[in-house]
Amino acid sequence: MSQTVYPFGGNAKSDDPRAKDKTIVGGKGANLAEMAEIGLPVPPGFTITTEECLDYLEHGADPSTELRAGFAEKLRHDVTSALGHIEATVGKRLGDKDDPLLVSVRSGAAISMPGMMDTVLNLGLNDETVEGLAQVSGDERFAWDSYRRFIQMYSDVVLGIDHGLFEEALEIAKEDKDLYADTEMSAEEWKELVAEYKQIAADERGGEPFPQDVTEQLWGAIRAVFDSWDSERAKIYRRLNDIPHDMGTAVNVQAMVFGNMGDTSATGVAFTRDPATGEKSYYGEFLINAQGEDVVAGIRTPQYLTKAAREAAGADKPSMEEAMPEAYAELARVFDLLEQHYRDMQDIEFTVERGHLWMLQTRTGKRTAKAALKLAVDMADEGLIDEKTAILRVDPMALDQLLHPTLDPDAPRDVLTTGLPASPGAAAGKIVLDADTAEQWAGRGESVILVRVETSPEDIHGMHAATGILTARGGMTSHAAVVARGMGRPCVSGASAVVIDRAKRLLKIGSRDLKEGDLITLDGAKGQVMAGEVATIEPELAGDFGTLMEWADKHRRMRVRTNAETPNDCRMARQFGAEGIGLCRTEHMFFDAGRISAVREMILADDENGRRAALDKLLPEQRKDFHEIFEVMKGLSCTIRLLDPPLHEFLPHGDAEFEDLAATTGHSVEHLKRRAGELHEFNPMLGHRGCRLGITYPEIYEMQARAIFEAACDVKAASGEAPLPEVMIPLVVTRRELEILRALVERVAGDVFGEKGTVVDYLVGTMIELPRAALMAGEIAEEARFFSFGTNDLTQTTLGVSRDDASRFLGPYVDRGIFARDPFVSLDIDGVGQLVTMAAERGRATRGDIKLGICGEHGGDPASIRFCEETGLDYVSASPYRVPIARLAAAQASLGK
């Protein structure tokens, strides 16, 4: 039978690989065990496995019996003996009224979810043990302060009592005594407050007193941590971060060490390198005479770790390096050991108890995209990791943050105030004062900046909806800062000049008055808050980004193309490293203001002659489009898709547009409206579109083919270098459709080459975007030189889910685990993937050198790209901004990630 509990610290040693397996003991538990083993100072403790959490959540506790009811007998036994390990190591006993052991109880899942789940500190205090603690510590004030913290935390986390009630009581107590800071409260005053806190707890529990039995306290806390896995905010966090719901959390029970034992004690959080920029400098904050939650809660503004950081910030309170040189030196030594051991940047929590350093946690540090790049490249240069590891270190999706514009350094800035540069990047948007409003306004397409005194896990949906986050309180490791960096949202924290009036929905920044809805801009790298919207500039693609991309290109097999239809997008995609066009949707060119009336004239024409007259007007326009695109893409493959959408999409809307069209065509409005009515379809997505248009109105495809070949010949004549046009026929389901249309394209190509006296290489192929096309791929390949998987329509038609209407139910479907992810974002590999695999195999069986690619949105999604690699596709195609993401994801796929 597997162990349910793993001890660490002291003389605990385990050869059981489960003791350091994150899926079993969680990230925190595994790292505590590892740190203890490499000789770092870790207070002893034990970890209850995630399996026990899942078991508990499945079977639950019977509320009608005592708290322990939900726990298996074996677990109760194992916890008791592991507690013995802590007691033996520290030489104190839980509940001992003379010299009590106190423990912390914390969650720790396999994948870290900062701030999402629950923690209880100082457990083991009651009316008796608090006296013992006062005696042995020689610090009565500390003992009673610890007890009131414990009551508040335990009541909140375990008993579900609103922590606001306790905060209010504390505020009133301070006001009564004319005190400003918690640190000014005396032992007596804390003692009085403890009595009040116990009364609050009892009142809220219908008269039942705050639990005094320390064993009951322990099991209550364990149960609360287990339950927190299923809390609403944890579920939302998992959904936003693609973390599975069936992993459970481990529970870490650890001997307490105290950062609040006077001025030689402290607590802090730190990173071994700067998580915002990736610079190689120790980074963090600490508070003297405080407990862990004080740093992250943003209640007191913490001090810097290093002298250099303090000076750079112009702060006057001493840094840890200055205030506690010995503990700081020890911390620096630990930092270096940790980086050597884990070969990655670490995010740690530590406590100094009366001058002695203790490590409470280490984990791989969350980082901005910019830092991720710099860390990967620097660590490879330092020899800490190799080039392949560097490639695998960077999350391709995180690159998105780097590819977007930043604030123009030369643009005028009306700076309202400056806070801490908590998460880099630029964001402009309307001020909103709460998370729900942020979500609502963002839902109607507005950019919003969430402005809060400080954020808490309840704000997570609003932070996600916002383009930027501004807080009045909190440091660089506050909740807002950590979460914003993880999400890639620019954030300015601790901007103390910001005063919020929630009731009036107003904001005061210094002497300036603003209201909800006013525009502001944040510069997350500088910590600046500006009025209005500040101009932006394009991103820098050289430096670390360029280096990592170069490495990625060396290690990838698949080509990366772009979906683009304007010369500008093509140029941008080329800068981002696109190696051709995977999809040029020609219909987008039809919407151009200068030509939409010719398009409408063509659609509403009564007969072929009428259509041809209109198409003659469009030919030079299309030729010009292709000419410009081919110039940018000289020498590269360009897949041009002939007209695809149903024609009614181009029809006039409203009387004014009909009147305009009547004036240009000479037809009456009534006539045009009648023709438009005739084009109505009940289900246009499955109607007269794609190659069906080419079969019924061949003159449309003829015009497009002519424009393509004329432009290709012209570019070749002008520059000596031709593109490789790949003419793509959409929505094919039979070999015969493609046979007819291929003949049409070849005839036009022959005509144009004859007229121009030159030839260019080209291919004719098709999209595979309907299930029948995938099934018949072997036959269709007889006519096709290439297949491009149109996985947008292939998903729509395989699932029978309309891509335009799915948003109403896809959210709940993903929440309930019916779909692991939105199938229009990440390919449904189990279902749609089978069709792709089959079509690729059947296509290759017919034509060994058939070119295979993907041009649906999935071509820019890392998980789908991995599937494309496994399927042996030749290339993926993504929108311009996704091209670097695809390059990196393709390299990671090649490296077998």
Please report, in range form, the residues annotated as the binding site for substrate. 585, 641, 769, 790-793
Our finding on whether 588 is near ligand PEP (CB under 6 A) is no
Q: Cβ of residue 854: shortest distance to ligand PEP, in angstroms?
A: 8
**Concatenated DSSP letters for 722-758?**
--EEEEEE-S--SHHHHHHHHHHHHHHHHHHHHHHT-
Q: Cβ of residue 878: shortest distance to Mg ion, in angstroms?
A: 15
Give the footprint of ligand PEP on residues 624-683 (CB under 6 A).
644
Among candidate residues 395, 377, 364, the one with its CA nearest the CA of residue 488: 395
Which of the stretches 25-33, 715-723, 737-745, 787-795 binds ligand PEP when contact is defined by CB under 6 A? Answer: 787-795
Our finding on whether 791 is near ligand PEP (CB under 6 A) is yes
What residues are paired with 361 via a beta bridge? 349
Instruction: Taking each helix axis as running N to C, give the angle between helix 22-37 and helix 50-59, from 0 to 180 degrees, rounded to the nearest 10.
Output: 150
The partner in contact with residue 222, picked from ligand PEP, Mg ion, none with C-beta cut-offs of 5 to 8 angstroms by kind, is: none
Among candidate residues 477, 438, 428, the one with its CA nearest the CA of residue 459: 438
* Catalytic-labelled residue, pool 584, 855, 858, 868: 855
| Chain residue whose CB lies nearest Mg ion | 793
The partner in contact with residue 627, picked from Mg ion, ligand PEP, none with C-beta cut-offs of 5 to 8 angstroms by kind, is: none
SS (H, E, C) 166-227: HHHHHHHHHHHCCCCCHHHCCHHHHHHHHHHHHHHHHHHCCCCCCCCCHHHHHHHHHHHHHH
How many residues belong to the chain? 897
Going edge to edge, which strands form the sheet with 448-452? 415-418, 528-531, 519-523, 426-432, 448-452, 468-471, 491-493, 420-423
SS3 state at 897: coil
By beta-carbon proximity to Mg ion, the closer residue of 424 and 730 is 730
The partner in contact with residue 52, picked from ligand PEP, Mg ion, none with C-beta cut-offs of 5 to 8 angstroms by kind, is: none
* Catalytic-labelled residue, pool 85, 461, 464, 479: 479
Number of residues lying near ligand PEP (CB under 6 A): 10
Exposure string over 553-577, b if 16+ CB within 10 A, otherwise e: eebbebbbbbbbbbbebbbbbbebb
Q: Cβ of residue 817: shortest distance to Mg ion, in angstroms?
A: 28
712 vs 702: CA distance, rounded Å: 15
Our finding on whether 790 is near Mg ion (CB under 5 A) is yes
Binding marks (x or -) toward Mg ion, 304..323, rule CB under 5 A? Answer: --------------------
The partner in contact with residue 368, picked from ligand PEP, Mg ion, none with C-beta cut-offs of 5 to 8 angstroms by kind, is: none
By beta-carbon proximity to Mg ion, the closer residue of 569 and 793 is 793
By beta-carbon proximity to ligand PEP, the closer residue of 486 and 790 is 790
Which of the stretches 399-407, 481-489, 573-581, 785-793 binds ligand PEP when contact is defined by CB under 6 A? Answer: 785-793
Q: Cβ of residue 792: shortest distance to Mg ion, in angstroms?
A: 5
Position among 516, 714, 769, 869 found at the interface with ligand PEP (CB under 6 A): 769
Our finding on whether 690 is near Mg ion (CB under 5 A) is no
Annotated binding site for Mg(2+): 769, 793
CA of residue 768 relative to chain centroid, distance:
31
Please name the residue that has the structure tokens 């495809």: 701
* DSSP secondary structure letter of residue 406: E
By beta-carbon proximity to ligand PEP, the closer residue of 585 and 673 is 585
By beta-carbon proximity to ligand PEP, the closer residue of 107 and 797 is 797
Give the footprint of Mg ion on residues 109-168 (CB under 5 A).
none
342 vs 862: CA distance, rounded Å: 25
775 vs 783: CA distance, rounded Å: 15
Q: Could you report how far apart the first and last alpha carbons of the chain are, in Å? A: 33
SS3 state at 363: strand
* DSSP secondary structure letter of residue 516: T
The partner in contact with residue 585, picked from Mg ion, ligand PEP, none with C-beta cut-offs of 5 to 8 angstroms by kind, is: ligand PEP
Position among 100, 856, 860, 862 found at the interface with ligand PEP (CB under 6 A): 856
Number of residues lying near Mg ion (CB under 5 A): 3
By beta-carbon proximity to ligand PEP, the closer residue of 577 and 690 is 690
Q: Cβ of residue 553: shortest distance to ligand PEP, in angstroms?
A: 25
**Concatenated DSSP letters for 837-881?**
HHHHHHHHHH-TT-EEEE-SGGGG-HHHHHHHHHHT-SEEEE-GG
Position among 558, 855, 878, 886 found at the interface with ligand PEP (CB under 6 A): 855
Q: Cβ of residue 767: shortest distance to ligand PEP, in angstroms?
A: 7
Binding marks (x or -) toward ligand PEP, 678..707, rule CB under 6 A? Answer: ------------------------------
Q: Cβ of residue 608: shortest distance to ligand PEP, in angstroms?
A: 27
Our finding on whether 790 is near ligand PEP (CB under 6 A) is yes
Residue 366's CB: how many other CB atoms inside 10 A? 18
> Token pair of 611, please?
């259509």
Position among 280, 505, 585, 588 found at the interface with ligand PEP (CB under 6 A): 585
Among candidate residues 106, 61, 101, the one with its CA nearest the CA of residue 83: 101
Our finding on whether 792 is near ligand PEP (CB under 6 A) is yes
User: Which run of H or E residues covers position 101?
Assistant: strand 100-101
Which of the stretches 209-217, 297-305, 771-779, 791-799 binds ligand PEP when contact is defined by CB under 6 A? Answer: 791-799
Position among 269, 416, 583, 776 found at the interface with ligand PEP (CB under 6 A): 583
Annotation says 584 is catalytic: no
Q: Cβ of residue 587: shortest distance to Mg ion, in angstroms?
A: 11
Give the footprint of Mg ion on residues 792-851 (CB under 5 A).
793
SS3 state at 67: helix
SS (H, E, C) 280-324: CCCEEEEEECCCHHHHHHCCCCCEECCHHHHHHHCCCCCCHHHHC
By beta-carbon proximity to ligand PEP, the closer residue of 126 and 796 is 796
Q: Cβ of residue 690: shortest distance to ligand PEP, in angstroms?
A: 9
Q: Cβ of residue 274: shortest distance to ligand PEP, in angstroms?
A: 41
CA of residue 61 relative to chain centroid, distance:
35
304 vs 322: CA distance, rounded Å: 10
Residue 613's CB: how many other CB atoms inside 10 A? 14
By beta-carbon proximity to ligand PEP, the closer residue of 463 and 700 is 700
> Token pair of 669, please?
């409005």
Give the footprint of Mg ion on residues 357-386 (CB under 5 A).
none
205 vs 148: CA distance, rounded Å: 17
By beta-carbon proximity to Mg ion, the closer residue of 523 and 644 is 644
Annotated binding site: 585, 641, 769, 790-793
Radius of gyration over every alpha carbon of the chain, rounded to an integer in angstroms: 32
By beta-carbon proximity to ligand PEP, the closer residue of 104 and 795 is 795
Is there a contact between 134 and 143 (Cβ–Cβ < 8 Å)? yes
Q: Which residues lie below 8 Å from residue 153, measured CB to CB, with a gap of 6+?
A: 119, 120, 121, 122, 293
Is there a contact between 355 and 338 (Cβ–Cβ < 8 Å)? no
The partner in contact with residue 274, picked from Mg ion, ligand PEP, none with C-beta cut-offs of 5 to 8 angstroms by kind, is: none
Which of the stretches 6-14, 548-556, 668-676, 786-794 binds ligand PEP when contact is defined by CB under 6 A? Answer: 786-794
Position among 353, 793, 828, 861 found at the interface with ligand PEP (CB under 6 A): 793
Q: How far is CA 748 from CA 75, 698, 704, 778, in A?
A: 78, 11, 10, 27
Binding marks (x or -) toward ligand PEP, 118..137, rule CB under 6 A? Answer: --------------------
Annotation says 491 is catalytic: no
Q: Cβ of residue 856: shortest distance to Mg ion, in angstroms?
A: 7
By beta-carbon proximity to ligand PEP, the closer residue of 509 and 738 is 738
Give the footprint of Mg ion on residues 760-789 (CB under 5 A).
769
SS3 state at 646: coil
Residues that bind ligand PEP (CB under 6 A): 583, 585, 644, 769, 790-793, 855-856
Residues that bind Mg ion (CB under 5 A): 769, 790, 793
* Residues with catalytic function: 479, 855
